[in-house]
Copies of this chain bind each other. A is one copy, B any other.
Amino acid sequence: MSKEDQIIPRSQDFNEWYNTLVLRADLADYGPVRGTMIVKPYGWSLWENIQSALDKRFKATGIENAAFPMLIPMSFLEKEAHHIEGFAPELAVVTHGGGKELTEPVAIRPTSETIIGHSYAKWIQSHRDLPILINLWNSVVRWELHTKLFLRTLEFYWQEGHTAHATEAEAWERTKIMLDIYANFAINEAAIPVIPGEKTESEKFAGAERTLTIEAMMGDGKALQSGTSHYLGQNFAKAFDIKYLDVDNIQQFCHTTSWGLSTRFIGAIIMTHGDDKGLILPPRLAPIQTVIVPIFKTEDEKSIVMTEVDKVKKELSDSGFRVKVDSRDNLTAGYKFNDWEMRGVPTRIEIGPRDVKNNSAAVARRDIPGKEGKEIVTRAALVERVKSLLNEVQNNLLVKATKFRDDNTLTVNSYDEFKSAVEKGFAKVWWAGDGKDEAKIKEETKATVRCIPFNQPGGNGTCFYTGKPADKIAIFARSY
């Protein structure tokens, strides 16, 4: 790899490493309108794999996909007081259409609760129409000032689910089911050991009664909110008149939920697993699971090697793996090794003339650098070995990320300990403070309550900040 192609090592400058890596690995590029993002084929293929893993899980619980317009009347957004307060500063507003000024300006959706509320009110008459379980795969626009590819962009891609139920219990149950799906997906597909929990009053979604979240620790110790599920109570039902006739023919307001996971999750994957050499993609989501690099010098060697490479490719594809052959003829094998390592392909197969002669191949795993991660495999065992290696890499990434998270999560009892803990990771504390305390702590340390984890130790303690008796643990951290 030439010098200009090299990325800044992660250990040297985490922020610059991230910014250059996203571009160099061909995941994304900047769009021409400030703060917008182009997701390139390699990045989009990763997103398609994320979509497919989530979509399967959604559908298994009865969720159906649909599509709602991106244009929403401004008046809709103003119907739920907290909602407009949260989103007004970020709206993109269309004032002209078809060469004329519009009588009522329309917003590009920042999220779809309001247009969903309007439609559900029309569609729901009786308890027989419930529940409605709809998910949308789309993009939304929020006019952000400080943007960063995948993490915060003017337009971003996501899914937003919206459900309506007859009872509070059922809506709350759905809120929890969807968070469980996110946690299960993050852990088992992305190898990210997220912490599921609940947001505090001051951190919950604009318009929600309760917000559940999965929080992940990035390689620099900061937190990334990676997916949220909101119990909206009857807030939107009352604002949009979503009512049903119950079995006794009495009109009731519905209880609604919404939940979302976005392309920012790609940022979480990059910053959880990446290292100095570049990306490391979890095998279950990687666009390319194994890359074959042919090695040869002469035309004769090329012909022998490529015949074998094509066979191996076919065997692996037929076995269901996502395989790529790097047949670029203007690059050295060494360059290619670095290139695919930088792009995070979890395993690499090298086949040269000697391998063909010896009925063997070299296989390297991305998560263990150098000779230690490389082995010679017999040709007959190759497919099985790639399969087992992909599982090993997948498991190892989760183990490593879990260890890193735990090593950088400190249980602290005083504000001084807290301050140094959030410099490098998560602080786990007994907590009995309120919104004002949170604001003060944020001002002084930049750390916020990431969540009140579901997994509580039980018992009681003393709040590290207020000194009051506390019956729950909170996780604080700086965050993206």
Contacts and interface: CB of A to CB of B under 8 A. Distances in A.
B41 A66 contact: yes
Nearest to A33: B71
Given A41-B134, A134-B41, A99 B94 contact: no
Interface residues of A, number: 59
Copies of this protein in the complex: 2
A37 to B, nearest CB: 7
Interface stretch (A138-146, A206-214, A373-381, A402-410): A138-146
A145 B97 CA distance: 10
A334 interface: no
Contacts of A80: none
Contacts of A69: 31-33, 36-38, 154-155
Q: Which of A67, A134, A155 gathers most chain B CB within 10 Å?
A: A67
Contacts of A95: 93-96
B145 A32 contact: no
Contact of A119 (B38, B70, B145): B38
A330 interface: yes
A70 B155 contact: yes
Interface string A188-220: 000000000000000000000000000000000
Interface string A46-76: 0110000000000000001111111111001
A388 B177 CA distance: 39
A108 interface: yes
Contact of A45 (B36, B65, B128): B65
A118 B32 contact: yes
A123 B26 CA distance: 10
A94 B91 CA distance: 10
A67 B94 contact: no
B96 A67 contact: no
B134 A73 contact: no
A157 interface: yes
A121 to B, nearest CB: 11
A130 interface: no
Nearest to A48: B65
A391 to B, nearest CB: 26
A320 interface: no
B93 A94 contact: yes
Contacts of A145: 98
B33 A67 contact: no
5 contacts: A32-B115, A41-B65, A70-B108, A70-B141, A91-B97
| Across the A-B interface, the 10 shortest Cβ-Cβ residue pairs | A98-B143, A41-B64, A36-B69, A31-B69, A97-B143, A93-B96, A39-B67, A33-B71, A95-B95, A44-B66
